[in-house]
Amino acid sequence: MQTARRLYVYLLSGISLGALVLGVTMLLTVLLEALGLGPAGEGVVVGGEDVVRQQLTLASAVTAVSLPVWLIHWFVAERSVRPDRPGASVERTSDVRGLYFALAMGGLLLAMASGLASTVEAIVLELAGTDRFGRSIGGGLALAIVAGAAWAYHVRLRTRDWSRGPMTDASAWLPRTYLYVAMFAGLFILLGGITGFIELLGRLVLDEPPPFIDESSGSWWAYPLASSVTSVAVGGAVWLGHAAYANRLLSDPGWRGASERPAKVRLAFFVAVLVAAAAGTTYLLGDGAGNAFAAALGVPDSDVAGQTFGLIILPILSAVPYAIAWWIHVRWMDQEAATAGSSENVETADRLQLYPVGLVGLAFGATATAWLIAILIDVALGGERLVAGDAWRRELSQFVPFAVLGVAAWIWQWGRASSRWAVDPIGEASSTTRWTTLLIILAVSIGAGVISLGFILYRLFGSVFGLTMSGDPISELSLPIGVAIVAAIVALYHAGQLRRDQSLRAGIETAPAEPATVPSQAWLRLTGPPGADIASALSALRQHLPTGYGLEAVEPLERPAGTPHPTSEAAESS
């Protein structure tokens, strides 16, 4: 019942908040555009007064309806977490409240970033003296202000909730997921802006506008510049702000730091960054190397003739920021693992650097190798690629670098993992990271092999049954054959690794238990006449026992009345 109530309150709060942000943004947009920040800097002249009245009417209606709905429901939500209310702690740490804050802060951050991006882009285009094509500085600025204010309000409330006591389970990890998703998105928006700057500067130096730009245009650089500035400014602000907050949490000496340091969401963020950065680096290096290979084969694209040097060097330079991001986060992971002071943390961090990046290399290498096999089959058997002239050379130059880079990355990382296995085979075979990696590779390779074999059989059965098939059969079957060959090799090798690891784990689980060390024994009763020396009798008996046997005195089974218990007597004497 309480869960249903929470769902209702927070759902209506979220919907009404979104409508309120929209209405207030529209009102502020009209005001800012009236001050001269409109799409063309002409204020209310654009569209006429009727358009302005219509915008004001709609914005006022949306605001008037959404504001009281949000105030009522949010008052109920906030009242339930006041410290003087019964069950306030349960409400504050509820999963529904955690989900609401994660979604609300994420949506508001996205809206604020979108408004900032639109504003920065419009300003740069205005300064460059280029047509903004309807981009409104006032509209973007209004959205950034309103959404930013609502976002800051929710951040303050969530910080207050944290300050009132610990949170666990979904109430903790859902908002934490927002934090690291925002960090990830901000980082790669920033990297995209940096690579955009690199390409723009390179083209300006080489005097090589993009092929889709008219070279006679004197300000062709304005749009790439606006896009790059926007990505760097917005992405950098989001990433740096959230990273600083996350690091502050990490160094907190209280329960918040203790909760943040072992968080699996944080580890997932590092793994995602390493995978994405490795993929970006490999792709850009392969793109530049592919263009160089194509130039060597004499088959550059006709629409970029004369720009060969730029097509080679600019992608390679653009790969540098991604490689630096990968290196920074590797160092970051190592430092945190070392600071934790646990060898297990160090081992986990090392594996999370090796296996996911190895997967990226294997994905590039296997995919490109399958294409290369398809090209060779097609050319060798006279398929459509051979008939098309230089098309197969272009494909060859495109996939050779990816095959080389991908296989090299996989050998590098898998070689390091194999070295770890050689040092500690049982520990490495029991690793969840290694186990998961092998299962992922096996599942993907088997799935790809099954799909490719299915397509091959479809073509063969169609020919047997006289079905008319479109396309050249050699070209149509070359890629599925290439995929099947590569998938079989990958699956067989990693299945062998998986089976070897399983045998090691099975040996540990089925190892015989140590034999019991409890000696066999029997209780004996020794009696004697009143006043007999029992200790002397026991000593005499011990002299006649076989080797390995012993005899000791225990409490008598029956004691004369009034005789103190031996243990009680010992306790009193002590």
Q: What is residue 254's predicted lDDT score, i.e. its pLDDT?
A: 82
Q: What is residue 572's predicted lDDT score, i.e. its pLDDT?
A: 35
101 and 154 in contact (C-beta within 8 Å)?
Answer: yes
The residue type of 411 is I
Q: Rounded to two decimals, what is the model's pTM?
A: 0.79
Q: What is residue 566's predicted lDDT score, i.e. its pLDDT?
A: 44
Q: What is residue 522's predicted lDDT score, i.e. its pLDDT?
A: 72
Q: What is residue 519's predicted lDDT score, i.e. its pLDDT?
A: 67
User: What are the helix (H) ranges across 251-307?
Assistant: 255-260, 264-297
Q: What is residue 560's predicted lDDT score, i.e. its pLDDT?
A: 47
Which of 50, 86, 276 has the alpha carbon at shortest distance from 180? 276
The residue type of 70 is W
Structure tokens at 126: 């205005």
Rounded CA-CA distance 6/18 in Å is 18
Write b or e for each residue in 474-497: b if 16 or more Cβ atoms lie within 10 A of its Cβ, otherwise e.
Answer: bbbbbbbbbbbbbbbebbeebeeb
The segments of the chain whose pLDDT lies below 50 read: 41-46, 302, 511, 513, 516, 557-574
Q: What is residue 40's predicted lDDT score, i.e. its pLDDT?
A: 53
Structure tokens at 122: 């419009």
